[in-house]
Structure formats: C-alpha cells, structure tokens
C-alpha cells in the first residue's frame, strides 16, 4: 500500500473499538494517540497506543464528548487525523467541522453528508428522490401532536413515533390506537429534547414482524461506492442490537441484490465518501424493504461483514479519508460462509441493569473461525460511567447452522468472572427454535423473554 496514509492518528474513543482502531493504524504503520478519562487510566487502549493524553474526569461530557479537550490533545501531540470510532463524537457534524478548521482530518464522511443524514426526515426525502423505497410516513419534521395524529390516522395504526435527531431508540414509541397517540407523542418529544436538545419527531407506519437488515457501504472522494453485503440485526431489545449476522437468513438472491443496489444508489446520490450503513426494514412475507436511516459512521457490528468478505473496513475507511480511492471494485468483493456476532454486556441477565466492577477471571474463547474484540483483561475494573459492552464474540463457519454451533461452543468457553453478564441470554436466543430456523424479527427477543418469564412463573407456582 506504499507510505502510510497518516503519520499519527488520535483515537477519540475508548474500550474495544479504540483497540480495534489502534490495531488497524499500527498495521498501516501509523502512530496512535489514545485519549482517556481519569476512570480509564488503566484501560487497554491507553496501554497499547504509542502516546496517551488524559482529557478529563469520568463523565463523558467532561472527557470523551469534550470537543475542546479532544482537539487540544490532537494539536498538542501533532496528530494529523482523528478517528471517532462509533458513539461519542462519531456523528457530531460540529466536531467534524472544527477538525477541518484546525487542519485535522476527520476520519469519516463530509460534514454535509453527516448533517443531511442526521436529519431523518431530510434523509427520507433524499431516499425518495433517489428512487429508494421508504416506509409510509410523515413528510414534515417537527410536526405537533395534533397534525401528527391526522397523519397517523391517514396511514393507519399501528404507527411508530421517531426522533428526527439522534438514535439508539430514544423517544421511539409504537402506538397501537388513536386515543394513546397524543400522550405518547408528547412523552417522546420530552425524551428526545432531553437526550438530543431537539424535540422534533416524525411518524411512520409500523410494520409488525419486520426484520432489521442493513447494507455496509464504502465510498471515496472520487465518487466511487461499493457495498460489502448486508447484515441482519433483528435480535434486539429496546432497539439495542444484541446479535448480528451476515448474510441475512431466508432472503432470496433477487431481494438481496435489489437491497444492495438501493444502498449504493442512495450513497452515490449524496456523494458519500467514507464507510457507512444504509438501514432497511424488511418484510419477509411481502419481500418488500424500506429505507429507514443511514448511519454515517463505523458500526459496532462491522466485524461480521469483515469475516464474510475478508475485508478490513477500518483500514479502508482510513485510506479513503486520506484521499485515496477504494481498494476494491464491486466485482472483486467475495462473500464466503456465515458470520454471527454476539455482544457480551456487563449487565444483570434478568433486569438488564448494568453490572460494573472488577473482573475476577477472564478467558476469551478461541479456535478456528473465532474472533474476540474486547478491551478488558483479568482484574480490570469496568467503570460505571460508560456503555456496558465488554466483548464482541464473532464466529465464521461455512453454514449458518455451523456458525450457531460454533458460537454456542465459544459462549461456553468464555469466562468473565466477578461481574454479571448476558452470556446465558445469548445461549437462550441461539437455542430457540425460531432463531435456529431463521424466522427472526425485531420483536423475537421480547417473545423469548416473555416465554422465559412465563416458564419461571409456572415453576414458582408449582413450588
């Protein structure tokens, strides 16, 4: 690949994704700078980077979200570029703009792309103009409750209330009947104003038993865009993904090809020049799919795509940020086997409350086709201030059934002592008949949890 794209890159993140970025940079011959809060002084990303800078106290707003502190660290260390990973500042257009003003390359899309796709109503209009199907919904952002109710009645219940800004399921409400609409709309508005400082909402038709399927795209500054196939992210709780896989099960090749084409079409229409994800709702009965949003950043679940395409998405993202064209032509992208990712969180498996604390005994799984992305180690103390993700276990096998079996073995081999984790929840999902058959949807985990609660209740009554 010749000379490194940058001499030094600052990693504006923490945990497993910071390590992932550091490793990619080091393989490219790039020196790295880790920033950290006082709570993360003993973190693995701090130990593995070439340099480190403490940027503030534990609170994310005073450290990892502190734009002035991050930029100051980059300037002080002579960093040419900043990689934001995912979360934190990764989709903050103002931060990307400040990077540019300071002569620092933001490893991500253009400010214009970020602002366009961050406004979900505007992103929806862009998709429509590009000929990409969208879920029936309101065309105006920031509508009030009474206007929104009329639109909801016109499209028919159930409907979904969504935030114009932000993501992660904040403010998302499923409304089954008209009499509940205004109450839930106002409640959602208060939630998103508190979370994103923007109370704007929009409404779209709710599709029951739908699947969440997303297409990985990479674009460069020369206007080239390719896709790396799709991932199914339907196993989720409260809109937070738990298990992802590639390719999507039980999807015919014609539908798959149309979805890929739509993703590339939309990316080219906006001149997208980085890695990103086009997200769709897929109706397995009608085989229709609808654009819902675009994530203008690296995704947590990018490893499943890397495993089946043998592509390093992070390296490619860094290269195109430096101005180079994509390494691959679409015809050269090859897909092989089936990959599954399980997110292992430090949380109570029953109540789902976070379970920070000291890890007492840590043994990650291994073997052929097993990858573990993690930022923890034995005796590491998981701080209570951040996301509860401890590790991502990713497996690759020839078939989906083999991948499920491999993941179950990996979960059994994984030891994370001293804290509570959701390892058992993963086993329960992977062994469930609906998951094994590929008949998955975004509410399947809720169904599985209801079945567990009913079973435990009957056991208690019998006792």
Name the H helices within 311-413.
Answer: 313-321, 400-413
Please name the helix (run of DSSP H) or strand (run of DSSP E) that holds residue 19, with its range, or none: helix 15-27
Catalytic residue among 14, 211, 297, 371: 297
Question: Are the C-beta atoms of residues 364 and 260 closer than 8 Å to each other?
Answer: no
Helix (H, G, I), strand (E, B) or coil at 54: strand
- Exposed e or buried b per residue across 97-134, where buried means at least 16 C-beta atoms within 10 angstroms of its C-beta: bbbeeeebbbbbbbbebbbbbbbbbebbbbbeeeebbb
Close Cβ partners of 186 (under 8 Å, ≥ 6 residues apart): 145
- Structural tokens at position 166: 């932000």
Question: Are the C-beta atoms of residues 209 and 443 closer than 8 Å to each other?
Answer: yes
Cα separation, 28 vs 24, in Å, equals: 6
Cα separation, 318 vs 110, in Å, equals: 14
β partners of residue 341: 244, 394
Q: How many CB atoms lie within 10 A of CB 168?
A: 13
Look at residues 394, 400, 405 and name the one whose alpha carbon lies nearest to residue 431. 405
Residue with tokens 């993700």: 389
CA angle 386, 281, 395 (to 5 degrees): 55
| Catalytic site includes residue 297 | yes
Q: How many CB atoms lie within 10 A of CB 141?
A: 18
DSSP calls for 29-44: T-EEEEEEEGGGTT-H
Question: Would you report the helix, strand and coil content of the chain in percent, each value rounded to 5?
Answer: 40, 25, 35
Close Cβ partners of 351 (under 8 Å, ≥ 6 residues apart): none
Q: How many CB atoms lie within 10 A of CB 408?
A: 16
Active site amino acids: 297
């Amino acid at each position: 690949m010749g000379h490194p794209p940058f001499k030094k890159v600052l990693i504006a993140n923490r945990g497993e994704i910071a390590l992932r970025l550091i490793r990619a940079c080091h393989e490219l011959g790039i020196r790295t700078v880790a920033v950290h809060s006082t709570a993360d002084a003993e973190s693995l990303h701090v130990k593995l980077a070439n340099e480190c800078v403490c940027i503030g106290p534990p609170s994310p707003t005073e450290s990892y979200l502190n734009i002035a502190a991050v930029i100051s660290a980059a300037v002080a260390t002579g960093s040419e570029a900043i990689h934001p990973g995912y979360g934190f500042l990764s989709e903050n257009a103002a931060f990307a703009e400040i990077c540019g003003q300071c002569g620092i390359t933001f490893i991500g899309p253009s400010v214009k792309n970020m602002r366009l796709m961050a406004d979900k109503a505007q992103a929806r209009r862009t998709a429509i103009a590009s000929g990409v199907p969208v879920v029936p919904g309101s065309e105006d952002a920031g509508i009030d409750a009474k206007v929104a109710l009329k639109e909801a009645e016109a499209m028919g219940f159930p409907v979904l209330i969504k935030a114009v800004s932000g993501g992660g399921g904040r403010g998302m409400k499923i409304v089954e009947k008209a009499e509940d609409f205004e109450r839930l709309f106002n409640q959602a508005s208060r939630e998103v104003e508190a979370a994103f400082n923007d109370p704007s909402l929009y409404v779209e038709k709710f599709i029951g038993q739908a699947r969440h399927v997303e297409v990985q795209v990479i674009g460069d500054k020369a206007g080239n865009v390719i896709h790396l196939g799709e991932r199914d992210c339907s196993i989720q709780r409260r809109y937070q993904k738990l298990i992802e896989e590639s390719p999507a099960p039980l999807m015919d090749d014609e539908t798959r090809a149309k979805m890929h084409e739509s993703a590339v079409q939309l990316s080219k229409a906006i001149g997208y020049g980085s890695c990103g994800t086009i997200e769709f709702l897929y109706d397995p009965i009608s085989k229709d799919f609808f654009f819902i949003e675009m994530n203008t950043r690296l995704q947590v679940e990018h490893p499943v795509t890397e495993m089946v395409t043998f592509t390093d998405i992070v390296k490619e993202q860094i290269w195109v940020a430096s101005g180079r064209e994509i390494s691959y032509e679409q015809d050269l992208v090859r897909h092989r086997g089936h990959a599954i990712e399980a997110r292992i969180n430090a949380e109570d498996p029953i109540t789902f409350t976070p379970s920070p604390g000291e890890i007492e005994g840590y043994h990650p799984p291994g073997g052929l086709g097993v990858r573990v992305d993690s930022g923890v180690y034995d005796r590491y103390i998981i701080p209570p201030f951040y996301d509860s993700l401890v590790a991502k276990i990713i497996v690759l096998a020839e078939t989906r059934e083999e991948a499920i079996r491999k993941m179950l073995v990996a979960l059994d081999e994984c030891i994370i002592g001293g804290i509570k984790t959701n390892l058992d929840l993963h086993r329960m999902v992977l062994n469930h008949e609906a998951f094994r058959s590929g008949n998955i949807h975004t509410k399947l985990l809720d169904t599985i949890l209801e079945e567990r609660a009913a079973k435990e209740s009957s056991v208690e009554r019998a006792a």
